Amino acid sequence: MNPAPIKLVFTGPVGSGKTTALHQLSEITPVVTEQAMTVGATVNKTTTTVALDYGEVTLENGEKVLLFGTPGQRYYDYMCKIVAQGATGIMLLLNNDNADPQNDLAYFTELFADHAKRGAMVLGITHTEGARNNPLQRYHAWLSDRGYMLPVFAVDARNRDDVILMVEALAASLEY
Ligand SMILES: Nc1nc2c(ncn2[C@@H]2O[C@H](COP(=O)(O)OP(=O)(O)O)[C@@H](O)[C@H]2O)c(=O)[nH]1
Ligand SMILES: [Mg+2]
């Protein structure tokens, strides 16, 4: 029997770059479930993922990686849990320009506490060029306050190399 495929899940709040990151990585045209936002639409963002995003990428060794993106809006949390079931690793994207990224960090590390505790999670901080300039050390401090030690990177979800860096960091964490 083949081993279970590698499953990576992009999660995080609305507008943190989940759908964009998955598009950067996927070698198939991703399946996305975008709908007009019922709550929280902004000038920059009028649609949001309602069920999941799905893509695939093949590693150099021929292994296939399944990519999933969760919805960001909190009333879809039950969906997040379903989408992330059996995930090899969680890529938590946080928008540095959000009003309260510490709250987002607390929320998503709690939602995926099993992965966070096992070190099967990597943080990607997006929109670091924005006006709110939380340094990366602040995320490290917030994590260690909660007893987690996880890699944290400044990433631009539109940049494929940045997204690949997160995947590589996750792979490295899982090898220990
Ligand atoms: N300026 C900036 N824009 C980004 C960055 N990452 C993603 N975006 C943009 O942010 C918007 C929201 O991204 P999206 O992938 O839809 O977020 P999702 O709600 O998490 O799926 C898109 O217009 C992206 O192009 C970043 O690091 N900097
Ligand atoms: Mg999305």
Listing DSSP states for 92-152 in one string gives: EEEETTSS-HHHHHHHHHHHTHHHHHHT-EEEEEE-TTSS----HHHHHHHHHHTT----E
The verdict on the CB of residue 53 being under 6 Å from ligand 1 is no
For the chain, domains (ranges, CATH) are: 6-175 (3.40.50.300)
Q: What average pLDDT score do residues 73-83 get?
A: 80
Instruction: Give percent above pLDDT 90 in the chain.
Output: 61
**For 57-67, what is the mean pLDDT?**
87
Q: What is the mean pLDDT of residues 113-131?
A: 94
Reply yes or no on whether the pLDDT at 1 is more than 60: no
Task: Write down the pLDDT at residue 12.
Answer: 95
Tell me, in angstroms, the distance from the centre of ligand 2 to residue 87's CA. Answer: 18
pLDDT of 15 strictly over 60:
yes
Closest ligand to Cα 154: 1
**Helix (H), strand (E), coil (C) string for 36-71:** ECCCCCCCCCCEEECCCEEEEEECCCCCEEEEEECC
Across 53-77, average pLDDT: 86
Given the CA of residue 13, which atom of ligand 1 is nearest to it?
20
Q: What pLDDT is stored for residue 108 in this prediction?
A: 95
Nearest to 125 by CA among 110, 135, 117, 114: 135
Looking at residues 25-38, what average pLDDT do you find?
A: 80
Q: How far is the CA of 114 from the centre of ligand 1 (A)?
A: 27
CA gap 19, 68 in Å, rounded: 9
